[in-house]
Amino acid sequence: MTRIRLLAFALAALTACSAAAQESGTLAPKPLPPLANPDDPKTPAKELFGRKTDPAPLSARSIGGYARGCVAGAQALPIDGETWQVMRLSRNRNWGHPNLIAFLERLTRRTPQINGWPGLLVGDIAQPRGGPMITGHASHQIGLDADVWLTPMPDRRLSRAEREQMSATDMVRPDRLDVDPSVWTPGHTALLRAVSREPEVARIFVNAAIKKALCREAGQDRAWLTKIRPMFGHNYHFHIRLACPAGDEGCADQDPPAGDGCGAELDQWFTDKMLHPKPGPPRPPMTMAQLPPECRRVLVAK
């Protein structure tokens, strides 16, 4: 990727899950007020998808691209499993394509063997019908993206209040140039390596300082570094992106990344422009016309 394309891509994703994981939630979320003119074609799609509290009762499909699409027949990750707990329940974003939900359950069950953690804390996956969100992410729209905390699941059930208020750990040094050695552990590297080796995983996004640590710690076998790519934020959690489910026509895969992504490509992330990016003018929100036409069916399905 050229320097300019990299910057444009990175800035476009600037809001993607940056501070969102650390915003605390509330035990008594207020439902959004009904829209006065939901059929107005200018209505932002996030206002429509953000008001859906249940999945579209259609067969499971990821439709469109990771940052421009929706999901039919989504499943919820149960808020508790033996080896996982869902955080920020008030957001109702624990929905995903059944492939992703099954993947997360399998991954968390393996976590104790991977790095000794009791399990994983799961942040945002997607809204019940996917689509753009009122707060937080540019992607996470087709039920194939999930944020997982870089903090181990504790050895006890967290209360609902703790799940709204507890903060994850910032893994990056205040100068953003490297990980914080007082919190970064070999267990983090082991987990990211294991997730990256899963064939269904297309990408993992981490903060550039974390990528730097992985490049340093990978040793001889570097193939697993390819899927792990730097992104703004992602210093409290990492982002797992699965490839499109087999046979899901209309689900748009990204081109596979090349190389280990270390070296010069990574160095660009530590330039002043990238460390202190100036966000461009706000973009007009996406409307239904900009999403795949089938997302309209997903939105209204009863």
Residue 258: CB minimum distance to Zn ion, A: 22
Residue from the set 10, 13, 17, 240 that interacts with Zn ion by CB under 5 A: 17
Per CB under 5 A, the segment of 1-9, 139-147, 156-164, 219-227 that binds Zn ion is 139-147
CA distances from 256 to 30, 143, 204, 210, 266 (A): 41, 19, 12, 21, 17
In angstroms, what is the minimal distance from the CB of 95 to Zn ion?
A: 14
CB of 137 to Zn ion, least distance (A): 6
Quick one: which segment of 71-79, 112-120, 142-150, 171-179 binds Zn ion (CB under 5 A)?
142-150
- Nearest distance from residue 62's CB to Zn ion, in Å? 16
Which of these ranges, 61-69, 85-93, 233-241, 253-261, lies near Zn ion under the rule CB under 5 A? 233-241
Q: What is the secondary structure of 116-135 as a DSSP string?
A: S-S-EEE---B-TT----SS
Piece in contact with Zn ion (CB under 5 A), picked from 60-68, 89-97, 144-152, 294-302: 144-152
Is the CA virtual torsion 171, 68, 194, 83 positive or negative? positive
Listed ranges 35-43, 112-120, 219-227, 232-240: which one lies at the site for Zn ion (CB under 5 A): 232-240
Rule CB under 5 A: which of 104-133 touch Zn ion?
Answer: none
Among 48, 239, 261, 269, binds Zn ion (CB under 5 A): 239
List 71, 103, 147, 251, residue binding Zn ion (CB under 5 A): 147
- Cα angle 65, 71, 72; round to 5: 145
Using the minimum distance from each CB to Zn ion, give the nearer residue, 207 or 288. Answer: 207
Least separation in angstroms between CB 28 and Zn ion: 26
Nearest Cα residue to 210 out of 264, 270, 166: 270
Task: Report helix, strand or coil for 230.
Answer: strand
Question: Which CB sits closer to Zn ion, 132 or 288?
Answer: 132
Of the pair 23, 82, the CB lying nearest Zn ion is at 23
Q: Count the site residues for Zn ion by CB under 5 A.
A: 3
Check: CB of residue 65 under 8 Å from CB of residue 93: no
Decide if residue 172 touches Zn ion (CB under 5 A). Answer: no
CB of 226 to Zn ion, least distance (A): 19
Find the shortest distance in angstroms from Cβ 47 to Zn ion: 21
> Between 231 and 274, whose beta carbon lies closer to Zn ion?
231
Task: Quote the least distance from Cβ 145 to Zn ion, whole Å.
Answer: 6
Q: Given the rule CB under 5 A, which residues bind Zn ion?
A: 17, 147, 239
